[in-house]
Amino acid sequence: MDVPPTARPGRQRLSAEQRRHALVDATVTVVAARGYDGAALADIAAAAGVSKGLIWHYFADGDDLMVHTARSTLVKLRDAVVADLDLEAPVPAVIRAAINRAAELPDTHPRELAALSAIIHNLRAPDGSPRLGLDEYEETYAGQEELFRRGQREGSLRQLDPRLMAVTYQGAVDTMLTYLQAHPDTNAADYARSLADLLLGGMAATPSPSRGPVNGSTDSNPDDAE
């Protein structure tokens, strides 16, 4: 599968940060299209519209490029979920809206999800252990913990360990995304509603009423809790 070069603005000289961004975007494109093992550095350079040797000017090696790509993509996906959310709304409503938004990622960001999954599952340290793990979620966990603590102060969430809540929440969302990618015919909105019911049933001070099983019929609007 051919991968088109990343669009560049004429002969404008790019800054180092812009060049790194172009290489990361090209890496996402190539890995998503050809898989991790098929993502040759020469192809990534060609997709970015640069010479292969320029990669080493900005990254220590191919693994460094992959690590940087995975981390940047994780931030991009997280930002896509929280964008335009009303973070001042009651915390259970924020949680439900965020899960709804996350369930849309396979449609809105399929390239990024495919590349991130491929890199995380294939990039290895010299001893064979994964190069990327739960430590990559620290910033994500911190933001979630802050939200959960606000819910506890306001009385909408139970007094559970915020870190436990964050790890459980993020793990459930990641599993949802993996399932939706593997089963594209699944009704993502129904899955999101059911997942929110399950999580809020355990976290909310007053459990949220059920809104129907995954792929079941429902008359509720997926956005009415936002």
User: Model confidence over 79-94: pLDDT tens digits?
Assistant: 999 998 999 999 999 9
Please state, in angstroms and rounded to a whole number, the distance separating the CA atoms of residues 9 and 154.
49
The label of the residue with tokens 């220590």 reads 60
pLDDT value of position 13? 73
pLDDT value of position 207? 55
Give the 3-state secondary structure of residue 171.
helix
- Write the single-letter amino acid at 213: P
Please state, in angstroms and rounded to a whole number, the distance separating the CA atoms of residues 65 and 20.
9
Query: CB of 124 within 8 A of CB of 149?
Result: no
pLDDT value of position 217? 41
pLDDT value of position 17? 86
- Write the single-letter amino acid at 124: R
pLDDT value of position 5? 56
**Rg of the chain taking only CA atoms, in angstroms:** 20
Residue 121: CB atoms within 10 A of its CB come to: 11
Give the 3-state secondary structure of residue 15.
coil
pLDDT value of position 113? 97
CA–CA distances in Å: residue 96 to residues 124, 171, 189: 35, 15, 11
From 180, 22, 172, select the one nearest 109 (Cα to Cα).
180
Please state, in angstroms and rounded to a whole number, the distance separating the CA atoms of residues 221 and 108.
20
pLDDT value of position 103? 98
Within 89-224, residue ranges assigned H as helices are 91-103, 105-108, 110-122, 138-154, 162-182, 188-203
pLDDT value of position 14? 74
Q: How far is CA 193 from the centre of its chain?
A: 19
pLDDT value of position 60? 94
Q: Which tokens is 89 given?
A: 């709304």
- What are the residue ranges in the chain where pLDDT is below 50? 7-11, 212-226
- Total-model pTM: 0.82
pLDDT value of position 18? 87
Handedness of CA 29, 32, 34, 40 (dihedral sign): positive
CA–CA distances in Å: residue 109 to residues 27, 67, 174: 15, 19, 14
